[in-house]
């Protein structure tokens, strides 16, 4: 991209081996509307850069949590991966092959689980019909080993924890509890034997005591069937309970990514630290939190996109370390500051470099200029 002059770092780390799913240099934007009058006067539509340069890889059987505030672009990223939004530029590859126009085969192997199971299920369809719908769309009446549709539906429901499955075939969604409905939605994804499940806030609409069971189900599907998952969530506690890696998004970019233990227990980016600070816990409400305007993807600040809200800039810590000019002026990509732990922060880069002699990525900049 043209504006990436002097851009250091990467938009997302590569993982070892061939990733199952790979997103490279992805940009997605939405255009606002311009009235006829102002259009004639030369006014341009405001462009919301929802995903503003993201690279991401998902290994087989891996659970990656994508965290951030609402409006950070995490849901748009997930929807674009599913082919539900059109990317402005960038590529998505599955098993090394770039996605073209024919998404049918891909859609069978990458399935999505939405946030609200009540909205995701057709209220006039029986559970059996809802789960079998995917099979019919993909023209599968029998699997390779001659298993009937009914057996496939039963197997999917049973894998999703609806046992005995036959008991639920003729139920309608309103006859089930919230947790059971989410299990049906998951069964609808499982029936096609996917390799990847993209789950957008899979438990945030569920009751607290039921959430754990659904998360346990997701973990079990990964362990038993080797399904990789991209879990979009605002809840870092959820990431702690199920994710192998955590990626934190801010205003359309991944600003920190690494192993869950690393990112959640030894965060490098001030934004990740701020997100962790606002996780409620016993001990009172006197926690620091970010002030300032909520992020607006139509107006992405120059330099580090977090600098107007950054506590390190506000407190003068960045100035004291001599990086404030860079925070305000230089857009920064992800740097590998600790093994497999990447962050896009001038101050963290300086501090870890001082800490360990040198940061690895700074000495070997793998800038992906295109």
Partner 1 sequence: MSILSVRDLHVDYRTQAGPIPAVRGVSFDIEKGEVLGLAGESGCGKSTIASAILRLLPPGTEVTGQVLLNGEDVLRMKPGRLRAVRWTGASIVFQGAMHALNPVQRVGDQIAEAIIIHGQGGEREARVRVGALLEQVGLPPRRIDDYPHELSGGQKQRVMIAMALACSPSLVIADEPTTALDVMVQAQVLKLLNDLQHELGLAMLFITHDLSVLVEVSDRLAIMYAGRIVEDGPAQDVFEDPAHPYSRALAGAFPAIGDQQYRMAPAGLGGDPPYPTDIPSGCSFHPRCPLAFEDCLTIDPELYVAGSGRRAACLLVNRPLPVEAGA
Q: Does 44 bind partner 1 (CB under 8 A)?
A: no
Residues 6 or more apart whose Cβ sits within 8 Å of residue 299: none
- Say how far apart CA 34 and CA 44 lie, in whole Å: 7
Length of the chain as a residue count: 370
Which residue matches tokens 């860079």? 326
With respect to partner 1, which residue has the nearer C-beta, 149 or 213? 213
Among 142, 163, 216, 299, binds partner 1 (CB under 8 A): 216
> Site residues for partner 1, window 145-204 (CB under 8 A)?
177-180
With respect to partner 1, which residue has the nearer C-beta, 102 or 291? 291
Q: Does 231 bind partner 1 (CB under 8 A)?
A: no
Q: Does 241 bind partner 1 (CB under 8 A)?
A: yes
Number of residues that bind partner 1 (CB under 8 A): 46
With respect to partner 1, which residue has the nearer C-beta, 7 or 271? 271
> Cβ(297)–Cβ(252) under 8 Å?
yes
Among 34, 120, 219, 314, binds partner 1 (CB under 8 A): 219
Among 120, 278, 317, 321, binds partner 1 (CB under 8 A): 278
Among 42, 284, 339, 357, binds partner 1 (CB under 8 A): 284
> Cβ(252)–Cβ(72) under 8 Å?
yes
Residue 26 Cβ, how far from partner 1 at the closest point, in Å? 24
Q: Does 279 bind partner 1 (CB under 8 A)?
A: yes
Residue 177 Cβ, how far from partner 1 at the closest point, in Å? 4
Q: Does 211 bind partner 1 (CB under 8 A)?
A: yes
Segment near partner 1 (CB under 8 A), from 74-82, 139-147, 162-170, 274-282? 274-282
With respect to partner 1, which residue has the nearer C-beta, 172 or 366? 172
Q: Does 236 bind partner 1 (CB under 8 A)?
A: yes
Q: Does 294 bind partner 1 (CB under 8 A)?
A: yes
Q: Does 234 bind partner 1 (CB under 8 A)?
A: yes
Among 2, 209, 363, 369, binds partner 1 (CB under 8 A): 209
Residue 254 Cβ, how far from partner 1 at the closest point, in Å? 18
Burial class from Cβ neighbours inside 10 Å (0-12, 13-18, 19+) for residue 109 reads middle
Q: Does 6 bind partner 1 (CB under 8 A)?
A: no
Residues 6 or more apart whose Cβ sits within 8 Å of residue 317: 311, 347
> Site residues for partner 1, window 57-86 (CB under 8 A)?
69-71
- Say how far apart CA 344 and CA 362 lie, in whole Å: 12
Among 47, 207, 325, 354, binds partner 1 (CB under 8 A): 207
Pairing of strands 47-58, 196-200: unpaired
With respect to partner 1, which residue has the nearer C-beta, 171 or 241? 241
Among 274, 327, 344, 361, binds partner 1 (CB under 8 A): 274
With respect to partner 1, which residue has the nearer C-beta, 107 or 159? 159
Residue 12 Cβ, how far from partner 1 at the closest point, in Å? 23
Residues that bind partner 1 (CB under 8 A): 69-71, 177-180, 207-216, 219, 234-237, 240-242, 261, 264-265, 274-287, 289-291, 294
């Amino acid at each position: 991209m043209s504006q990436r002059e002097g851009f250091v770092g990467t938009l997302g780390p590569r993982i070892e081996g061939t990733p199952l799913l790979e997103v490279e240099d992805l940009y997605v934007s939405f255009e606002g509307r311009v009235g006829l009058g102002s259009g004639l006067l030369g006014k341009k539509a405001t462009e919301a850069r929802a995903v503003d340069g993201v690279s991401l890889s998902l290994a087989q059987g891996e659970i990656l949590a994508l965290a951030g505030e609402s409006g950070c672009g995490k849901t748009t990223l997930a929807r674009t991966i599913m082919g539900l939004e059109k990317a402005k530029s960038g590529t998505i590859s599955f098993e090394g092959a770039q996605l073209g126009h024919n998404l049918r085969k891909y859609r069978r192997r990458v399935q999505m689980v939405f946030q609200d199971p009540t909205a995701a299920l057709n209220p006039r369809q029986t559970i059996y019909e809802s789960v079998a719908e995917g099979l019919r769309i993909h023209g599968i009446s029998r699997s390779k080993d001659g298993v009937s549709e009914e057996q496939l539906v039963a197997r999917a429901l049973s894998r999703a924890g609806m046992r005995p499955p036959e008991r639920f075939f003729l139920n309608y969604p309103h006859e089930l509890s919230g947790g059971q409905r989410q299990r049906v939605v998951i069964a609808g994804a499982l029936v096609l034997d996917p390799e990847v499940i993209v789950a957008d806030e899979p438990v945030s609409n569920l009751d607290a005591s039921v959430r754990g069971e659904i998360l346990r189900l997701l973990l079990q599907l990964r362990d038993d069937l080797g399904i990789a998952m991209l879990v979009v969530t605002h809840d870092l506690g959820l990431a702690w309970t199920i994710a192998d890696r955590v990626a934190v998004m801010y205003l359309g970019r991944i600003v920190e990514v690494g192993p869950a233990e690393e990112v959640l227990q030894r965060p490098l980016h001030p934004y990740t630290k701020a997100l962790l600070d606002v996780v409620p816990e016993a001990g009172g409400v006197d926690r620091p939190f970010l002030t300032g305007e909520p992020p607006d993807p139509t107006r992405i600040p120059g330099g580090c996109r977090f600098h107007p809200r950054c506590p390190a800039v506000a407190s003068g810590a960045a100035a004291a370390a001599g990086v404030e000019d860079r925070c305000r002026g230089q857009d920064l990509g992800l740097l590998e500051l600790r093994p497999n732990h990447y962050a896009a922060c001038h101050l963290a880069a300086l501090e870890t470099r001082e800490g360990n002699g040198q940061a690895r990525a700074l000495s070997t900049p793998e800038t992906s200029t295109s």
